[in-house]
Amino acid sequence: MQALVWEGPRLMNMRDVADPTPAPDEVLIKVAYSGICGSELGGYLGHNSLRVPPLIMGHEFAGNIVAMGERAATVNPRLALGQRVTVNPLVHNPWSKAALKGRQNLNRERKIIGIHRPGSYAQMVTAPATNTYPIPDTLTLEHAALAEPLACAIRAAKLSGATATDRVLITGLGPIGLLALQVLKSAGIRTLFATDTDSDRREIGSHFGVTVLDPRATNVAETVRKATDGEGVDMAIDAVGATATRRECIESVTWGGKVIFTGLHDEESNIQANYIIRSEVNIQGSFAYTTLDFEDALNWLIDGRLEIDPWIVRAPLAEGGANFERLLNKPGPVAKILLQS
């Protein structure tokens, strides 16, 4: 089959690779659409320690089952040949302590499709039957490929603990920030601030009726405090992961407020430790999602609750490298690029 192989920093090429064979408890999926994730952009640049070249990346995908291992139907009786499916790419040990506590994402043995095993930037990919979800005819394959990033946004929103009366800041209106914005609005959050350095992304955020700031043109923390009677927001979600945005979130929350770090841009950051201590700011990491978060995301999509179609770009898999470069430069009004296999 053909696959888009990451071979080093800013180096991706289409290659002929062996067709994958599903294990007895796995299925083989013909990939229809596979999204480009922000963490994959970091990997593409060589900034992500988990991704080691040569690698077939890709973990946000949907397609059709074309083969099944001998035990796949026993493991997941809902599956059948030809079925339209999406996949939770986080493979975990269901009997680990973390999984038994409902925190599958914190299983120390976790493996992620597209990182620890070949991913979906290919014509076909294997996946555990337990992680594979059939989708109804009412859900497009394009939307089904968004279940994974939406699950990340749902996880961050849940961990923030934000309720309708809280004030929230989101730094970064890339896919996760934009999706988290919609999740929080659906929870009744009325006072929402968002930031992005890209004018097109700020315009997308403004479409949803939130206050969108350019952090290069305004002091975000001061602006937020002025708008909240000097208090600051109750919660902040950093969907970028740069040192500047992490510090910005900390400065913008009220004393006793909560900051969620979900962006993975910088491996390490110098943050305001003494201020955190004196203000009792609570910092919480948010990684991926639990099984329930993923299923919640899929139900969101089935219910048609997500607005993203105007900002989806579809491109052939062979143009994957060029589209990675597009996202690193001036992508335009784009919320998600889906590669078509």
Domain harbouring 99, CATH code: 3.90.180.10
Q: What is the CATH number of the domain that holds 275?
A: 3.40.50.720
Q: Are residues 31 and 127 in the same domain?
A: yes
Q: Are residues 275 and 160 in the same domain?
A: yes
Segment 98-144, tens digit of pLDDT: 999 999 999 999 999 999 999 999 999 999 999 999 999 999 999 99
CA dist., res. 149 & res. 179, Å (int): 8
Place of tokens 């470069």: 325
Q: What is the largest CA-CA distance in the chain?
A: 63
Q: Are residues 281 and 315 in the same domain?
A: no
Q: Are residues 195 and 168 in the same domain?
A: yes
User: Which domain covers residue 253, as residue numbers?
Assistant: 152-285
Q: Are residues 159 and 124 in the same domain?
A: no
**DSSP reduced 3-state for 240:** coil
Q: Are residues 86 and 167 in the same domain?
A: no
Q: Is residue 262 part of a domain?
A: yes
Q: Are residues 257 and 317 in the same domain?
A: no
pTM of the model: 0.95
Domain count, the chain: 2
Contact 215, 248 (CB under 8 A): yes
Q: Is residue 292 part of a domain?
A: no
Q: Is residue 85 part of a domain?
A: yes
Nearest to 127 by CA among 89, 93, 77, 73: 89
What's the pLDDT at 298? 98
Q: Are residues 156 and 142 in the same domain?
A: no
Q: Are residues 233 and 249 in the same domain?
A: yes
Cα 142–chain centre separation: 15
Segment 275-310, tens digit of pLDDT: 999 999 999 999 999 999 999 999 999 999 999 999
Q: Are residues 59 and 83 in the same domain?
A: yes
CA dist., res. 290 & res. 306, Å (int): 20
Q: Are residues 23 and 139 in the same domain?
A: yes
Helices assigned H by DSSP within the chain: 38-45, 72-75, 97-100, 141-144, 147-160, 175-186, 199-207, 220-227, 243-252, 273-279, 291-302, 320-328
Helices assigned H by DSSP within 101-174: 141-144, 147-160
Query: In the chain, what percentage of residues exceed pLDDT 90?
Result: 95
Q: Are residues 156 and 274 in the same domain?
A: yes
Nearest to 225 by CA among 216, 234, 215, 212: 234
Helix (H) or strand (E) holding 328: helix 320-328
